[in-house]
Amino acid sequence: MKFNTKTIHGGQTHDPAYGAVMPPIYQTSTYAQTTPGGHKGFEYSRTHNPTRHALENSFASIENGKHGLAFGSGLAAIDAVIKLLKPGDEVISTNDLYGGTYRLFTKIYEDFGIKFHFVGMETPSKINSLINKKTKLLWAETPTNPMLNIVDIKALSKVAKTNNILFAVDNTFATPYIQTPLDLGADIVMHSATKYLGGHSDVVMGALVVNNSSLAEKLYFIQNASGAIPGPQDSFLVLRGIKTLHIRMQRHCENAKMIADFLNEHPKVEKVYWPGLTNHKNHSIAKSQMNDFGGMISFTSKNNDYDETIRILERLKIFTLAESLGGVESLSGHPASMTHASIPKLEREKSGVVDSLIRLSVGIEDISDLVQDLKQALE
């Protein structure tokens, strides 16, 4: 089954009760039993719910995995992965990563005795010097948030397998429309399904997908025991969103290319970060592991002027200044004061998150309107 068909049919069956084409919203906390343990596969909705089950099957299908898990948010999904570890274990992570992930790692789990190393992963050889017997997990984003750096998934997979380390990839920016990390050697794929998978800025959710059944059992146990699950209404919304993922992502990518080219030629723009540009430092790796280059773009204005950057953001009319990304509508953001404010200034600037950096989530509106909006804001 091809990807565009999987988004609609992957892992799905018609509802056994009445043949409903779309899985019903099973808004229930519990299920009748004929005798203790005599149920139809569902006993309590924290553990299992038919609507969530349909969604989890869809997650697995589109990522070419065997096991999908849904969580109440992307951070809840990441939290479940870190709960696989024990005090004294070490994690090597991308240094250019979502601020919420950085906060979870450093402000929560460091206090539980887990050590985190943050390093630029564009060159896999940098990682080897940090690996020791306590290293249990490699955590990568690709493309990264917000610098759009590209990590060579196959190369990192080799490092992980050589050292018997779990390898997890945050695939939120790319989506499986563009890349499938499990096929490239990752052990775990994570999504903030709030973003492109949901696609309409109306739900908060996270996802994990794995192939290994033993690993899946551990994660299912954590999912149930910790209880950070989504409800059936949210599960329905994301399942519906996935059905149009392929056509939305096609337009996101098309629009992003036009905007990246426009910004790249604009005299007031210092630098454009988008992996589809041939001058992107990891463009060749992006071409080798991605089917397209995504709808996320970051750029800096000349002179790294904070006040000028805020003025640009305030002048935008179609691009809405807001947290989050991946919805049908175009959004703009200022990572230094918004999504990455939890990262210390010196640390974020080392990875390129300077005061003049603007992040765009390019929506699926008419491209001429989006370009004109940026043009007037940059005047």
Q: Which residues are catalytic?
A: 46, 98, 170, 195
What does the H/E/C string look like for 137-155?
Answer: EEEEECCCCCCCCCCCHHH
Give the type of residue at 191. H
Ordered strands of the 331-333 beta sheet: 269-273, 296-301, 357-361, 331-333, 320-321
Closest CA to 42 of 33, 34, 217: 33
Q: Distances from the Cα of 23 to the Cαs of 12, 19, 48, 60, in angstroms?
A: 8, 9, 14, 17
Ordered strands of the 188-192 beta sheet: 67-71, 206-210, 188-192, 166-170, 135-141, 90-94, 115-119
- Quote the CA–CA distance of 374 and 371 in Å, as a whole number: 5
CA 268 from centroid of its chain's CA atoms = 30
Q: Which residue has the tokens 């990572």?
A: 335
- Quote the CA–CA distance of 229 and 236 in Å, as a whole number: 13
- List the helix and strand counts (H, then E) for the chain: 13, 12
**CB–CB of 82/105 below 8 Å?**
yes
